[in-house]
A and B are shown apart, each in its own frame.
Chain A
Amino acid sequence: MPAMTEALLKVSLNHYLVLSAILFTLGMLGVLLRKNVIVILMSIELMLNAVNITFIAFSRYSGNIDGQVMVFFVMTIAAAEAAVGLALAVLIFKRFKEVNIRYFEHLRG
């Protein structure tokens, strides 16, 4: 057990930043590579939550509480965004009978 506490104490700001960078990149790849609309929405949520980790890590290690308050704003916005995104997904489903972005080929030029 003491070894584990020791290891936890060694976790620094950089560890958190790297974790959030990895999560953010995964989210980004999801948005860019996946075709299913629902998966894309989830990837966007992943990106926003990666940012939340960054905010909290900075806030914790600098002793400035502002960052934790910002997370609440971000969470609210993320919820609103999910609501709008799913509403649009329903609309797309009604029209195309599947939520996949490969049907999006009418606008080009």
Chain B
Amino acid sequence: MNMQLLQDVVLVSPLIALFAMSLLPVMMKVFQGNREPNPYVTLFIGFIGLSLATGLTAALSGADKTAFSGAIVFDGITAWMSYLVYLITAVALMLSFDHVATRGRQFAEFVFLMLSSVLGMIILIMSNDLIVTFIGIETMSLCLYILCAMSKEDVLSKEAAFKYFILGSFASAIFLYGIAFIYGTVGSTIFPDILESVGTLISTNTLFVVGLAMVTLGFAFKVSVFPLHAWTPDVYHGAPTPVTAFMATAVKASTFVAFLRLFESEGYGDAVQFQNVLQWLAVLTMLIGNVAAVMQDNFKRMLAYSSIAHSGYIMVGLIAAGFGNNFDAGATSVIFYLFSYALMTLGTFAVVAMFEKAENSTVGMNELKGMANRYPLLSLSLTVLLLSLAGIPPTLGFFGKFYLFSAAIEQDMYWLVLWGVINSVISVYYYLRPIVMMYMSDDVPVEIVGTNGMTRLTVIFTAALIVVLGLMSSPVLKAVQRSVTNLF
């Protein structure tokens, strides 16, 4: 056997392990005559798959090489973001095990789809070629479309799944058309080739600029950035809450990595117009997300709008990385922010999941009234999570935002940072409202019913992690920085 090929296969062994383990639950179901296997066993298999993949990633980390003729890259960013996605998935599996809309007779398929979706995300994180990026995005999204629909709830989840499917395919087609143009003008789809010719092509070749714009739009859809953000609240609201938590965190994290890799070039330095457009997109994303969130009474929709706003903040770091002279600093801040964003969003959605009594219930702000009297620890955790989302020190969210904005300040993007700070101030209003409801009301609180041991654990775990990592954020940042500087 060819040695090179063997090495390449070893490099993608986390993907192979993940895929093999994802098949086990459905196979078990098929061989037992379509009887649902014990959900604890299914969950356990899912965890084994995730920990196998984590172990293989850890064993391979530091490899810093490309595989399959440069189409796949394994570097520091790959390792860090893979860990994050595995962690998110483990938490999302725990949430869906507890949740009323996803528990029960189709859990084996659920775990299979979840792990397949993770497979797509890891391809996306590893990809060093636009076509591989496209395949990663599609693998991830196709599983998510079905996951959205796999709720016991009948109307909203189906509508959400279909809206997501149509708009997602539409965006993918635009993304693909952009790839075709870039391929036509550069003659290759591999990132290093593209990034090498960005500098000359971006000012001379209209076809290339159109291609780049279309690819940017495709990414913008997946991370819900301004012109293509409108699906986010509807889909996040309709999908079962554990799937929403998964979508809001893992999809954004992995797509932003691929987006970031597209900006790792000095060539963007002179593309002032492209930078202006992206800056406006970032500002509008933040504004729309925050202003719409202020007016929401539905907790889940509010979080959806807040996740749009957070995409805007991450765009600030992305622009600092791409259009400044220090890619590493910008990339580090983006990755650090993705970590903090994922932790706090997961925790908050876990609280929403706990409050949902039936598969079609909506959690309004009023339901949080007086919660502190009955569930003090849970209220404290939610307070920490919301303060972190608002970016109040000494939580992880504050340091995430701080590093993002300071990376942009370093590149003299004061205007952009000013908008970021204004938006953070707006966001404090709607993040504090639930806290006020929890602590300042004497109403009899709503009772939390059903099995929710693991969900409760998740909320407390993420809140604790946010405080601990927030207090020791500088060693964490240094570790991320080291891995980013080793970027291959």
Contact = CB atoms under 8 A, between A and B. Distances in A.
Interface stretch (B47-55, B76-84, B154-162, B331-339): B154-162
A88 B165 contact: yes
B325 interface: no
Interface residues of B, number: 41
Interface stretch (B177-185, B254-262, B383-391): B177-185
A84 B189 contact: no
Q: Chain A interface: which size bin?
A: 35 or more
A60 to B, nearest CB: 11
A104 B163 contact: yes
Name B's interface SS: helix
Contact of A27 (B131, B142, B161, B173): B173
Nearest to B301: A109
A70 B237 contact: no
A80 B138 CA distance: 9
Given A51-B176, A70-B183, A73-B135, A84 B165 contact: yes
A44 B173 contact: yes
Contacts of A44: 166, 169-170, 173
Nearest to A89: B162
Which of the listed residues A28, A40, A109 has the most CB atoms from chain B within 10 Å of its own CB? A109
Given A104-B159, A106-B156, A67 B183 contact: yes
B487 interface: no
A58 B187 CA distance: 9
Contact of A107 (B169, B173, B238, B296): B238
B134 interface: yes
Interface of A: 24, 27-28, 31, 37, 40, 44, 47-48, 50-51, 54-55, 57-58, 62, 64, 66-67, 70, 73-74, 77, 80-81, 84-85, 87-89, 91-92, 95, 101, 103-104, 106-109
The 6 residue pairs across chains A and B that have the minimum distance between CB atoms: A58-B184, A47-B173, A54-B180, A107-B234, A44-B169, A51-B176
